[in-house]
Amino acid sequence: MTYSRPHTFHIPVMGTGYTIDTPIKVAHYGISSVISITDHRLIEKMREFYSRKYDLVFTPIKETEADCRARRITAYLNLVQQIVHHNFEELKNSPFEKGSEITKYFEMLPENSELKLKYLSMLNLEEPHRSEIQEELRTLISSGSIDVNIMTKLDGAGIKKVKEEDSPEFNDAHAALRGFAKSNLESSVIFSAGLNPRLYGYMAQFEDFFPNKNGSIRKKVVLKVSDYRSALIQGKFLAKKGIWVSEFRIESGLNCGGHAFATDGYLMGPILKEFNENKSVLKEALLPLISDALKADSQSANLENCDIKLTVQGGVGTSNEHEFLMDHEHADSIGWGSPFLLVPEAVSIDQDSLDLLTKAKEEDYYLSEVSPLGVSFNTVRGNSAEREREARIDSGKPGAPCVKKHLAFNDELGQDLLCTASAKYQKRKIDALISEDLPEEDFNSKFRSIVDKVCLCVGLANGALTEKGETIRKGTQGVAICPGPNTAYFKKIVSLKEMVDHIYGRIDLVALKHRPNMFVKELELYVDYIKNKISDNLKLQSEKQQKYIQKFLNNLQDGISYYEQLFDEASNQLGEIGERSKKELERIKTELVGLELSM
């Protein structure tokens, strides 16, 4: 037997490049992580790099070849699996001695895990029993899962160089799904950014997504959601297709890295409470739907083992919070994202961005409007993509070269689909703006809203390419970085083992001791968010907007009431942090009252 889940944390996807090769770096230690499989050009570069590093044959898949995007993804995922297997076998066969790979594996495990306890007991044995238990331990360990992420909104047009690729199934998201489906991986695909009926329906073409006769699923579906209602809607949609959702990954709406999808003031604590109260209801609602769908398709499967896991991520930063989510919220795993940006052993990140993260202050992390998707985006001031953007503006040539076109969705300026961060789009918009002959203040405001967009297709990949020693095309060298606000509290570059030790409470890496509890921090972010909404629309509020804002404020007040009760109940576990958090709740309650009176 093996212990299926060595660790109680996972490393979520971070941009298109930061976790592009994370499984190669950490999976042999039993740590699960997630690769973005959107950027096939970056993926092909990584396949070439690692083929050469491990002395494997590399045969390029050219962009002019049929279905190149999906084939590149399949080839890379198969390579990652091959390398992870190689690394894991080497680890398994390493000696049980100080500094060895297998010793590192066991030292990083959580203290209370059965596997760790068995390892610790082995250390106290004499020969020959010591060697016997060591051999048994080798058979009990397992590698981490190589999971993939597909952002459902990336459903734009595919490459047009081959006629067959005019079909919708060759767009970014569909091709990525096909690339994963045809790979040798037995893992999970995480869908983020909401329901995409066409993409979800496309899964039905691949048998690996369906439960077999024994109820096991080779390729599992995980939905990243920010509320229970969304989970129920998407879960039912997929169940009617015969596809089971094995896990709902709850992510904070604002206290996260990258794109932020704000709720209507619903906070993580109450959302987790609703999930826990309705987990069995959710399962009972989905089981009949998947059963009927499989029967209608003449398939039979033992659904008794179909279970739903609940995982949490977004703003977790201390071992105390990690344990609280595991024990009180019954999470199956906790996602630790942004802090790992300071762990070069685990992610691919350039030195300039590392230096920036170690020096950035709390106020430097902000919710921006730089994403061409039109979705708020968490980032940090002073990143090189931002500096490159400002240099273009200063030179009178705003906008970036549109090289990859993954975000070329906008059709407002004619038949061409353009990215709003592209030079072509911004020139047309600025020319139209000039013709309006606006007052200087209005012109400057609208001008900035046009030119503030940053190229994410290139920018989010450049960190990984630079770290691998790739030469970046002149004029597209900026690195876009997407840390969550939680990163502000970590101030130094650390090893993988140090970060894992921090997660499990063996050491403390939090540099700023006034760091708020993750629930309180999210609440503060939501208050700032609605304050900006009120400020932006104070004079233009329609009745509909007023109702939205009032609903938002009511949900925040309900969340505060829940947290007051929660912090009282968990006072022993939270200690001083809980007492400090209750004082913060009182301050925020007063602030919300003032907001309501100002409306």
Q: Which residues contact 86 (CB under 8 A, 6 or more apart)?
A: 54
Instruction: Summarize pLDDT for 123-141 with one digit per residue, the tens.
Output: 999 999 999 999 999 999 9
Q: What confidence tens digit (pLDDT) does each residue in 367-412 have?
A: 999 999 999 999 999 999 999 999 999 999 999 999 999 999 898 8
Q: Does the structure show a pLDDT above 50 at 108?
A: yes
Neighbours of 554 (CB within 10 A): 14
Rounded CA gap, 389 and 268, in Å? Answer: 34
Distance CA 86, CA 24 (A): 10
* Cα(531)–Cα(114) distance, integer angstroms: 48
Q: What angle do CA 179, 181, 186 make, to 5 degrees?
A: 120
Proportion of the chain above pLDDT 70, given as a percent? 96
320 phi/psi in degrees, rounded to 5: -60, -45
In this structure, which amino acid lies at residue 345?
Answer: E
Cβ contacts of residue 516 below 8 Å, gap of 6+?
524, 580, 581, 584
Give, rounded to a whole angstrom, the gap between the first and last alpha carbons of the chain. 62
Beta carbons of 463 and 42 less than 8 angstroms apart: no
pLDDT at 1: 44
Q: With bands split at pLDDT 50, 70 and 90, how would you rate the model's confidence at 574?
A: confident
Each residue's pLDDT tens digit, 294-336: 999 888 888 988 999 999 999 999 999 999 999 999 999 999 9
Residues in CB range of 564: below 8 A, 6 or more apart: 582, 585
Query: What pLDDT is stored for residue 539 in this prediction?
Result: 55
Q: From residue 570, give the alpha-carbon distance in Å to each of 18, 82, 239, 325, 589.
A: 36, 45, 37, 12, 20
Mean pLDDT to the nearest integer, 564-590: 88
Q: Answer yes or no: is pLDDT of 170 > 90.
A: no
Q: Which two tokens stand for residue 195?
A: 């329901």
Share of the chain above pLDDT 90, in %: 85
Residue-wise pLDDT for 247-305, tens only, equals 999 999 999 999 999 999 999 999 999 999 999 999 999 999 999 999 998 888 889 88
Q: What average pLDDT does range 81-96 have in this prediction?
A: 98
Query: What is the average per-residue pLDDT within 500-516?
Result: 96
Which pairs count as long-range contacts for 101-104, CB under 8 Å and 24+ apart, including other chains?
Answer: 101/28, 102/138, 102/141, 104/29, 104/497
Angstrom distance (rounded) from CA 271 to CA 260: 16
Q: Residue type for 119, please?
A: Y
Q: Of the candidates 492, 467, 566, 536, which has an alpha carbon nearest to the alpha carbon of residue 25?
A: 467
pLDDT tens by residue, 536-561: 766 556 788 888 999 999 999 999 99
- In 55-141 the beta strands, taken as DSSP E runs, fall at none
What is the overall mean pLDDT for the chain? 93
Residue with tokens 């009282």: 568
CB 228 within 8 A of CB 277: no
Asked whether the beta carbons of 184 and 77 are under 8 A apart, the reply is yes
